[in-house]
């Protein structure tokens, strides 16, 4: 079923179907097909990525070459060109496609209309939140291949806060991705500073009991727990409802740590409230632990509620 989504989209386009809500099964078929199409097709192109939040805007141009050996990226950033490779049999990561079961409990998929993206016919879809304080998503799938050609994240007010679109894309070719070194066993993977672990072993891995929210917004769950290795070893907890999400990063600190004022046990010191790299970030020290809560898809009020409910040990999402 390599390109099953393509004929479905083409038939819909030819029938001229107007915007309509899709059933959960139909939505799952389309979302599963988009992930599979991105993984199984071979293509290269130029992608424009943009983040906009409050007064900050950041735009990056990325050249992508996706083939059977993995994906190669070249990014033009303010400091110059950066190149990295991702060794995986999966598609280039579309973060909001990772938790589709959870996503479809909080959002409804609506089919809208065909438009042209990167010179190709694409069907536009919208993920509409069932709750008024949540973000939404628009995305465009190539009619012939099902590959995602454009993707826009909108906040609860309908403003675009992050976007990506292919400026050019070329399909075909089954040669290896250039400049990728494959290990002797035929598989390699990109090194990362984060290791995913079960929640039950996280305290032993990081050497402290992480703070966790006492209450969660409706529809949110704990998605993943990570150990952040390196000099500032710590815990990273990812929460979400399938589309909206926030991240809690934390590590133990000394009283004289430059990230904030010294505090006695039990004291709470807020050290930062900022917008950085397209994210809202709250930073505080709580009982000797540096905690950073960040999100690109929820607002200050929800972040403050999360911070206010933080506690050690057990929590409602266990």
CA distance 189 to 209: 30
Residue 7: the pLDDT is 45
Residue 58: the pLDDT is 81
CA distance 115 to 166: 13
Tokens of 82: 């950066």
Residues 6+ apart with CB under 8 A from 116: 122
Residue 84: the pLDDT is 58
Q: Which helix (H) or strand (E) holds 203?
A: helix 202-206
What does the DSSP assignment read for 8-52? Answer: HHHHHHHHTPPSEEPPHHHHHHHHHHHHHHHHHS-EEEEEEEEEE
CB 185 within 8 A of CB 68: no
Reading the chain (318 residues) residue by residue, the pLDDT tens digits are: 344 455 444 444 433 334 458 999 999 999 999 999 988 899 999 999 998 766 677 888 888 888 877 777 777 666 655 665 555 555 566 888 889 999 999 999 999 999 999 999 999 999 999 998 899 999 999 999 999 999 999 988 898 989 999 999 999 865 555 544 443 443 334 444 688 999 999 999 999 999 999 999 999 999 999 999 877 889 999 999 999 999 999 999 864 454 444 444 455 676 778 777 668 889 999 888 999 999 988 888 888 899 999 998 655 454
- Spell 69-102 as b/e; 16+ CB within 10 A means b: bbbbbebeeeeeeeeebbbbeebbeeebbbbeeb
Of 297, 301, 300, 64, give the one whose Cα is nearest residue 162: 297
CA distance 286 to 265: 8
Q: How many residues does the chain have?
A: 318
Which one-letter DSSP state was computed for residue 229? Answer: -
The residue behind tokens 């600190």 is 253
Residue 185: the pLDDT is 40
CA distance 39 to 53: 30
Please tell me whether residue 178 adopts helix, strand or coil conformation. Answer: coil
Q: Which helix (H) or strand (E) holds 273?
A: strand 268-276
CA distances from 166 to 47, 88, 139, 146, 283 (A): 4, 21, 12, 14, 35
At 37, phi and psi to the nearest 5?
Answer: -65, -40
CATH topology of domain 5-171: outer membrane lipoprotein receptor (LolB), chain A (2.50.20)
CA distance 100 to 119: 29
At 79, phi and psi to the nearest 5?
Answer: -85, 5
Give the architecture-level CATH label for domain 194-312.
2-Layer Sandwich (3.30)
Measured distance between the N- and C-terminal CA atoms of the chain, rounded to whole angstroms: 38
In the chain, where are the structural domains located?
A: 5-171, 194-312
Question: What are 274-279's contacts with CB under 8 Å, separation 24+?
Answer: 275/53, 275/54, 275/55, 275/56, 276/56, 277/51, 277/58, 278/51, 278/52, 278/53, 278/56, 278/58, 278/161, 278/162, 279/53
């Amino acid at each position: 079923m390599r390109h099953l989504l393509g004929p479905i989209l083409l038939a819909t386009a030819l029938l001229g179907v107007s915007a309509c809500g899709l059933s959960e099964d139909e939505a799952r078929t389309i979302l599963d097909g988009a992930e599979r199409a991105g993984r199984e097709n071979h293509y290269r192109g130029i992608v424009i990525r943009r983040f906009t939040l409050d007064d900050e805007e950041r735009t990056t141009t990325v050249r992508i070459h996706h083939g059977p050996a993995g994906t190669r990226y070249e990014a033009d950033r303010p400091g110059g060109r950066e190149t990295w490779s991702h060794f995986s049999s999966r598609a280039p990561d579309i973060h909001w496609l990772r938790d589709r079961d959870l996503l479809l409990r909080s959002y409804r998929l609506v089919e809208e209309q065909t438009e042209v993206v990167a010179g190709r016919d694409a069907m536009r879809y919208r993920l509409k939140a069932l709750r008024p304080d949540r973000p939404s998503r628009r995305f465009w799938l190539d009619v012939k291949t099902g590959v995602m050609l454009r993707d826009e994240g909108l906040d609860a007010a309908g403003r675009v806060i992050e976007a990506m679109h292919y400026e050019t894309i070329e399909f075909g070719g089954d040669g290896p991705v250039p400049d990728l070194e494959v290990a002797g066993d035929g598989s390699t993977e990109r090194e990362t500073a984060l290791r995913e672990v079960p929640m039950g072993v996280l305290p032993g891995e990081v050497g402290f009991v992480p703070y966790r929210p006492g209450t969660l917004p409706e529809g949110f769950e704990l998605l993943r727990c990570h150990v952040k290795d390196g000099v500032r070893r710590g815990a990273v907890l990812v929460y979400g409802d399938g589309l909206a999400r926030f991240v809690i990063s934390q590590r133990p600190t000394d009283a004289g740590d430059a990230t904030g004022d010294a505090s006695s046990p039990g004291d709470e010191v807020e050290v930062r409230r900022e917008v950085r790299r397209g994210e809202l970030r709250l930073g505080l020290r709580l009982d000797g632990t540096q905690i950073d809560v960040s999100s690109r898809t929820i607002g200050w009020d929800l972040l403050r509620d999360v911070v206010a409910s933080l506690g050690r040990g057990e929590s409602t999402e266990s």
